[in-house]
Amino acid sequence: MKGRLSMKRVFRCVGVLCILTAACAEAPPSADEARAFLDAAETRLLDAWISAGRASWIQNTYITEDTTAQAAEARTAVIGLTMALAADAARFDGVDLPDDLRRKLLRLKTSMGVAAPADPARQAELSAIAAGMEAAYGRGAYCSGGGGECLSLPQLERRLAEVRDTDELLDLWLGWRAVAPPMRDSYARFVELANIGARDLGFADLGELWRAGYDMPPDAFTAELERLWDQVRPLYESLHCHVRAGLADEYGSAIVPPDEAIPAHLLGNMWSQTWANVFDLVAPRRTDPGYDLTDLLEDADVGEIAMVRYGERFFNSLGFDPLPDTFWERSLFVQPADRDVVCHASAWNLDYGSDVRIKMCLEVNGGDFVTIHHELGHNYYQRAYRGQSPLYRDGANGGFHEGIGDTIALSMTPEYLVEVGLLDRAPPADRDIGRLLRLALDKVAFLPFGLLVDQWRWRVFSGDIPPESYNEGWWDLRTAYQGVSPPAPRSEADFDPGAKYHIPANVSYTRYFLAHILQFQFHRALCETAGHEGPLHRCSIFGSREAGRRLQAMLEPGASRPWPDVLELGTGRREMDATAILDYFAPLQAWLDEQNAGRSCGWEQG
């Protein structure tokens, strides 16, 4: 479409005739016109984003038919405006423009993470589907037995983390997945509509639109992901091998067969995406890290809001301003008892300025303590780039946005916990393997999941995985990348991808894979700046103003420059690079190699 529009313009003005005809009045627009167009577009978009953000906040924190309808309406307004502006902007295709304007024109097209057909009725249909799927997921619950007692997702997750009885685990695992099949047809229609919109914008499909947000040709980006995955795969496979052996000891080889993928309900997480909840099953006694963060929080009687204060204090120590009063007044920190909310944690910037908030169903445990830092990372990023023009108020790429808070959380070393009064004494260095193992169960275990969610979606968007193979395609990827298997027969009556928030909510997922690589790169660079010497897993940048300044320099540009420029500001390097995560876990890799000696590792990739 892009090419066709620019060709038309060229043909119209070829030759002497052009000087004499009315077409001359339509001579190619100038860069000044493009600038004026974009200034006006940004003003209108900002208004629409703010309205839609408010409606979405209300819906997310109070799910009803009415709030869902209003959120859909506001979303339709953004979609309608963006698609109209993008169509109008096609007149600048083929015009020689400064990089900044060209960049903004591309961002205009990719800003929504979705696209829609030009027809307003179909735009409204797409918005209603999107808001409806988000509401259905948020309201989801598993009501087992006849007692009428229902478990919300946070309750199901908590049980799944603690229970070791395989029948109950399977029941919980299957119970949550019942939320998804009703969304299956809606999702297929959503894909159909969004693809039409993406094609109207000049992309092959919605997946290509997503990949266009990475400052490189979409195919080159795909290759970049494979390169990074190849770097970390040996570490993942070592961890997988060790964890499978531990689970086989616990449950027996009839349930966890050697040489095969691990049944997905045994890994302590609803999506088997992080495995720290089975730490006790896979850690030999001598690898006890010496403390457990959940216990420390409970012992110190740290409540939910106090957990957030720890996060704020960390950012303060780097030189960032305290959070505004409105953050404390307007955020949703805990699950309300009286209404449905979307519990999946998120960070918001309601006015694209200082009105930052988080929405979480916080519980006092180590996992949520890390998630708080994750969410605050988003909020501090949003504040840092608020001076940019609206189309640049975003991360350098999605991975940056997701990686900032996690970078801070990597600094929660035992010494840090002592400094803030949560731990009496740091355990001796020979306990580090336990800490590294527990962290790897989150960070390394996550990598293939972080990658495969969009591998599935990109194939769905391209038609490679059609609706009649949604579930099969999902499990093929789960098995190939993660080495996990469905614990019960699955069919196309199921819709297991839909039981993961980011599918019904249409949030791209590659950002998390990248964040898990980038956060170690950021950590390594900031530790250098803070003057740290010694192993990376012993570094905390808490209190380092120098590290804070470097971080601020990386956050401030937002999306105004290509991410390699921004990465260079933060780390001195222009490439994403997995050597930092490998360095960080090098002692663990050596330990895993010892543990796995004599074991047969790997699984049938399908």
Hey, which residues between 184 and 223 contact Zn ion (CB under 5 A)?
none
Distance from the Cα of residue 216 to its chain's centroid: 20
Active-site residue set: 344-345, 374-375, 378, 402, 502, 512
Is the CB of 296 or the CB of 345 nearer to ligand X8Z? 345
Hey, which residues between 373 and 412 contact ligand X8Z (CB under 6 A)?
374
**Quick check: 444 and 574 in contact, CB under 8 A?**
no
- 153 contacts: CB under 8 Å, gap ≥ 6: 140, 141, 176, 270, 343
How many residues bind to ligand X8Z according to rule CB under 6 A? 5
Hey, which residues between 433 and 492 contact ligand X8Z (CB under 6 A)?
none
Shortest distance in whole angstroms from residue 285 CB to ligand X8Z = 30
**Quick check: 273 and 234 in contact, CB under 8 A?**
no
Tokens 């990719």 map to which residue?
A: 110
Contact with ligand X8Z (CB under 6 A) among 371, 382, 411, 482: 371
User: From start to end of 424-572, where are the E strands?
Assistant: 484-485
Is the CB of 402 or the CB of 496 nearer to Zn ion? 402
Is the CB of 101 or the CB of 345 nearer to ligand X8Z? 345
Tokens 């969610």 map to which residue?
A: 453
Shortest distance in whole angstroms from residue 530 CB to Zn ion = 24
Out of ligand X8Z, Zn ion, none, what residue 18 binds, judged by CB under 5 to 8 A for its kind, is: none
Is the Cα dihedral 156, 157, 158, 159 positive or negative?
Answer: positive
Out of Zn ion, ligand X8Z, none, what residue 411 binds, judged by CB under 5 to 8 A for its kind, is: none
The Cα-based distances of 317 to 169, 357, 548 in angstroms read 42, 20, 8
345 binds ligand X8Z (CB under 6 A): yes
Out of Zn ion, ligand X8Z, none, what residue 214 binds, judged by CB under 5 to 8 A for its kind, is: none
Out of Zn ion, ligand X8Z, none, what residue 512 binds, judged by CB under 5 to 8 A for its kind, is: ligand X8Z
Strand, helix or coil for residue 338 = coil
Hey, which residues between 375 and 414 contact Zn ion (CB under 5 A)?
402
Is the CB of 142 or the CB of 512 nearer to ligand X8Z? 512
544 binds ligand X8Z (CB under 6 A): no
Out of Zn ion, ligand X8Z, none, what residue 345 binds, judged by CB under 5 to 8 A for its kind, is: ligand X8Z
Shortest distance in whole angstroms from residue 108 CB to ligand X8Z = 23
Binding mask 505-524 for ligand X8Z (x = CB under 6 A): -------x------------
Distance CA 268, CA 173 (A): 10
Out of ligand X8Z, Zn ion, none, what residue 110 binds, judged by CB under 5 to 8 A for its kind, is: none
Contact with ligand X8Z (CB under 6 A) among 346, 382, 521, 540: 346
Is the CB of 117 or the CB of 138 nearer to ligand X8Z? 138
Distance CA 244, CA 239 (A): 8
How many H helices and E strands in the chain? 25, 6
Q: Which residue, judged by CB position, is nearest to Zn ion in the bound state?
A: 402
Show the CA angle centred on residue 9, arms to residues 6 and 10, nearest 5°: 90
Distance CA 431, CA 217 (A): 45
Distance from the Cα of residue 490 to its chain's centroid: 26
Give CB contacts under 8 A, 24+ apart, made by 284-292. Answer: 287/431, 287/433, 287/434, 287/437, 288/431, 288/434, 289/427, 289/431, 289/432, 289/434, 289/435, 289/438, 290/414, 290/427, 290/428, 290/431, 290/434, 291/414, 291/417, 291/423, 291/427, 292/366
Distance CA 494, CA 499 (A): 10
Is the CB of 402 or the CB of 577 nearer to Zn ion? 402
Shortest distance in whole angstroms from residue 402 CB to Zn ion = 5
Shortest distance in whole angstroms from residue 449 CB to ligand X8Z = 8
Hey, which residues between 16 and 45 contact ligand X8Z (CB under 6 A)?
none
Is the CB of 184 or the CB of 373 nearer to Zn ion? 373
Interaction site with ligand X8Z (CB under 6 A): 345-346, 371, 374, 512
- Sites of contact with Zn ion (CB under 5 A): 402
